[in-house]
Amino acid sequence: MRQNISQPLDQNDLQKISSSKAHEDQLQRQLIDTRCRNIVTAFFSASLVWLLSGSALAIAASIKLHSPDFLTQSDWLTFGRVRPAHLNTMAYGWVSGASIGVGLWIMSRLTRVPLSKSPWLWAAFFLWNIGITVGTIGILRGDSTSIEWLEFPGYTAPFLLGAFAIAMFEIIRMMNKRPPGHVYISQWYILAAFCWFPWLYATAVILLVWFPVQAPAMPPINWWFAHNALGLWFTPVSLAAAYYLIPKVVGKPIHSYYLSMIGFWSLGFFYAWNGMHHLIGGPFPAWLISASIAASIMMLVPVITVAINHHMTMKGSFHYLKSSPTLRFVVFAAVSYTLVSVQGSSAAIRPLNQITHFTHYTIGHAHLGMYAFVTMMLFGAMYYIMPRLWNREWPSAFLIRSHFWLCALGVALMTFALSIGGWIQGWELNKAEKGFMEILEITLPYLQARSLSGGILTLAHLMFTLSFLLLIFGWSPRGGTPTLLEANTPFRRTQ
Amino acid sequence: MNDKQRYISVWIGFLTTFATAWFGLVILPIFNLGQFTDEVQHAKIPKEKATLIDLGRDSYVSNGCIYCHSQQVRPSYAGSDMKYFWGDRRTMPTDYINDKVALLGTMRTGPDLSNIGVRQPSIDWHLTHLYNPQITSQGSVMPPYDFLFRKQKIVGVSSPNALKLSGEYSPPEGYEVVPKREALALVQYLLSLQKSKNPLPDPQSNGPS
């Protein structure tokens, strides 16, 4: 049944060969995967390069925070440049690049429309990665805007906007060409995310960087953008992956279609209003801040809905966690989504925000979201997608297992260290009994623990990169039997 | 509803959920906070000094001081900022109208700088602190910004603006450390941060607030 992957099929071949519905479906999937193979692999590979560069920048920034004399010879490597370079390579190079790949593939699978053959998607790939390269160098040479989550200098934005516009049109094209019938929840999430992000990014770049508004109006726009980049771009793509992958691996439909709809619309409605909880106590009208605090608490609606829906789908299938690499990463990520969202809602409440605002607690929260949720979800998706694109299996269960446990250990250490250290820092600053320097000293061991966790995570990334390269270059088993974490579990490959 | 109608209504949903927040958090603040005229009279700064302050702000922005230092004082009900003498009143929107970027910050690894020009008015202190924070603030985790300084051979008499360094921090015999223009500008910018001294807008006026 399996065709040689090196001979792509086209529509004519398909019609000739098709004899049964199942056979036709399988050929259609092969056509989709063949069309996706090069471009999606390119997005994934580039995103892994950014993941590794971002890790190096992260370790440098983290060490500098407890050992200020580390790497001070050049202005290119001063803390205030390395830190935003880390954030932007991770947020745009790694997470966004990988998300574009995951979004294109899932959309193509669900609409049953093969990816366009036109060179435009390659233009998007090159524009995107040239943009990230130019932006990162820009920050390091001193062109950072110091607008958080938007530090890339203004001359980077045309690259990123151009690339994203192409990706958006491809997603819309696939949606429009799909055969009539049921639309799956992941499609709503991906379609919305790919349309919301260009609007977000264009608004922020125009009003903050290209034609800046008066300074007092900048922070609300800044945090509307920064929080929605998380909430209306990273989050929906990752949730789309969870909604696609969990039912696929466990072989059951999602628990409730209606719950998933409530989750989707309440996410769009409430998340969009969240950003101002980063500005509590700042020089802004009270209504602006209060609206965001209320919306932050209302985020419990989509979060609990999604959590129930995922949990009920998983119910009775938890034993697959022992064997399926994809499921293990995805479930870890889905649980983290619930945790990070509840933590975020609570930190928006004024008395708690008074303590956690301006401390490492927020940084811990950001890593719980961007790493334990989004990054783990993207790893899970890649574990599922790559073998299907290449018709090859992952080279080694040992590499996957170590990747998982190093990630889990690293991000747990980071989150605990920063949450506890940040809480103590905020608690003491709020009491204002100890001197500022004295409180700084208390936080140092937690910052050192964070550097250690950075090292652990980097090791995990190297393991994954090795697996990824072995798979692409063919030093891994050919299709048939998937690489499982526990080989003796009965498991059948689903398409 | 047929397939196409449902598809269109979903599109309308995407746009309205997003557009309401866009209107509330982007457009309204521009009208609310982005249209101050200079009815609030800030102290006039001589042009030459203003240029230097602008250059200093650029340095503050490009070197990412914002990642450890905030520039906002919360009211006493929302934080203990005033107990650390970071300002004697909360900061107001009008305190930022002369800034190109509002550098409010979200992190306090270091202290708030809204009023650093009032709290520490010494140019020498700031220069020494930037050159190596350990000299003035033992135990600080602020990195040294020695790339803003030049180590040069003393020719004849030493330069008037050479840093007065002693002990382990002093340069080798016959050398001196002098600040580059960027360092002087950055210090002028820091000294200009006196947000509590800005006049408050007239509460009776009809202008934006």
Choose among B22, B92, B101: nearest Cβ to A215. B101
Distance from C-alpha of A288 to C-alpha of B23, rounded to nearest angstrom: 12
Shortest CA distance from B13: residue in chain A: A265
Nearest to A79 by CA among B108, B187, B64: B64
Distance from C-alpha of A361 to C-alpha of A262, rounded to nearest angstrom: 30
Q: Answer yes or no: are the C-beta atoms of A426 and A355 closer than 8 Å.
A: yes
Please give the Cα distance from A299 to A265 (Å, whole number): 11
Decide if B14 and A68 are in contact by the 8 Å CB cutoff. no
Count other C-beta atoms under 10 Å from residue B175's C-beta: 13
Is the distance from CB of B45 to CB of A298 less than 8 angstroms? no
**For chain B, what's the residue count?**
209
User: What is the model's pLDDT at position A487?
Assistant: 62
Q: Is B131 on the interface with A (CB under 8 A)?
A: no
Q: Which residue of A has its CA nearest to B29?
A: A217
Residue type, A141: R
Range of lowest pLDDT (A212-216, A235-239, B39-43): B39-43
As a whole number, mean pLDDT of residues B179-187 equals 96
> What residues have CB less than 8 Å from B51, skipping those under 6 apart?
none
Q: How confident is the model at residue A327 (pLDDT cuts 50, 70, 90)?
A: very high
C-alpha distances in Å from residue A487, one per residue of A229, A323, A393, A477, A492: 39, 7, 14, 15, 11
In this predicted model, which residue has the larger pLDDT, B119 or B43? B119
Q: Is the pLDDT of residue A215 over 80?
A: yes
Residue-level pLDDT at B38? 65
Q: φ and ψ at A358, to 5 degrees?
A: 70, 20
User: Which residues in chain A have their CB less than 8 angstroms from residue B74's CB?
Assistant: 281-282
CA–CA distances in Å: residue B170 to residues A69, A73, A414, B120, B151 = 17, 17, 39, 23, 11
Gap between the Cα atoms of A35 and A11, Å rounded: 12
- Percentage of chain A lying above the pLDDT 70 cut: 94
Lowest mean pLDDT among A10-24, A324-338, B68-82: A10-24
Beta carbons within 8 Å of A372's beta carbon, 6+ residues apart: A332, A333, A336, A339, A340, A411, A412, A415
Which of A214, A284, A358 faces B34 most closely, judged by CB atoms?
Answer: A214
Question: What does DSSP assign to residue A217?
Answer: G
Assign A5 a pLDDT band (cuts: 50, 70, 90): very low
Report the pLDDT value the prediction gives residue B183, as an integer from 0 to 100.
96
A234, amino acid identity: F
Assess A190–B contact: CB distance below 8 Å, yes or no.
no
A162 pLDDT exceeds 80?
Answer: yes
Supply the pLDDT for residue A65.
95
Question: DSSP code of A18?
Answer: -
- Residue of A66, A72, A146 with shortest CB distance to B141: A66
**3-state helix/strand/coil string of chain B:** CCHHHHHHHHHHHHHHHHHHHHHHHHHHHHHHHCCCCCCCCCCCCCHHHHHHHHHHHHHHHHCCHHHCCCCCCCCHHHCCHHHHCCCCCCCCHHHHCCCCCCCCCCECCCCCCCCHHHHCCCHHHHHHHHHCHHHHCCCCCCCCCHHHEEEEECCCCCCCCCCCCCHHHCCCCCEEEEECHHHHHHHHHHHHCCHHHCCCCCCCCCCCC
Structure confidence by residue, pLDDT tens digits, A62-91: 999 999 999 988 899 999 999 999 999 999
Taking the C-alpha atoms of residue B148 and residue B130, their distance in angstroms, rounded to an integer, is: 8
A238: nearest Cα among A309, A303, A189, A185: A189
Q: Which residue reads 């009994």 in tokens? A: A433
Q: Is the Cβ pair B101, A218 closer than 8 Å?
A: yes
Q: Let me know if A173 is exposed, middle or buried by CB neighbors in 10 A (0-12, 13-18, 19+).
A: middle
- Residue B74 pLDDT greater than 90, yes or no: yes
Chain A residues with CB under 8 Å of B83 CB are 432
Q: What ipTM goes with this model?
A: 0.92
| A1: pLDDT strictly greater than 60 | no
Instruction: Give per-residue pLDDT as tens, A224-281.
Output: 999 999 999 999 999 999 999 999 999 999 999 999 999 999 999 999 999 999 999 9
Tell me, what's the pLDDT at A63? 97
Tell me which chain A residues have a C-beta less than 8 angstroms from the C-beta of B87. none
Rounded CA gap, A485 and A51, in Å?
Answer: 24
Model confidence at B157, in pLDDT bands (50, 70, 90)? Answer: confident
pLDDT recorded at residue A15 = 58
Give the Cα separation of A6 and A43 in Å (integer): 20
* Amino acid, single-letter form, for residue A338: T
Closest by alpha carbon to A427, among A365, A342, A360, A372? A360
Res B172 pLDDT > 70 = yes
Q: Residue A11 above 70 pLDDT?
A: no
How high is the pLDDT of residue B27?
94
Q: Which of A133, A123, A167 is nearest to A49 (CA)?
A: A133
Answer whether A79 sits within 8 Å of B14, measured CB to CB.
no
Residues 6+ apart with CB under 8 A from A479: A2, A387, A391, A392, A393
Angle of CA points A211, A216, A221, to nearest 5°: 60
Position B64 scores a pLDDT of 96
Measured between CA atoms, the residue of chain A closest to residue B69 is A358
Specify which residues B179 forms β-bridges with: B149
Q: Give residues with Cβ within 8 angstroms of B12, minimum separation 6.
A: none
Dist. CA A473–CA A112, nearest whole Å: 28
User: How many whole angstroms separate alpha carbon A439 and alpha carbon A446?
Assistant: 12
Query: What's the rounded mean pLDDT across residues A331-360?
Result: 96
Q: Would you state the pLDDT for residue A402?
A: 96
* pLDDT score for A491: 53
pLDDT at A474: 84
User: What is the average pLDDT value for chain B, to the nearest integer?
Assistant: 89
Token code pair at residue A433: 């009994």
**pLDDT bracket for residue A24 (50, 70, 90):** confident
Give the tens place of pLDDT for each residue, B91-120: 999 899 888 899 999 999 999 999 999 999
- What pLDDT score does A412 carry? 97
Instruction: Tell me the nearest-neighbour CA distance from A235 into chain B, angstroms.
Output: 15
Alpha-carbon gap, residue B139 to A436, rounded angstroms:
11
Sign of CA dihedral A4, A7, A9, A15: negative
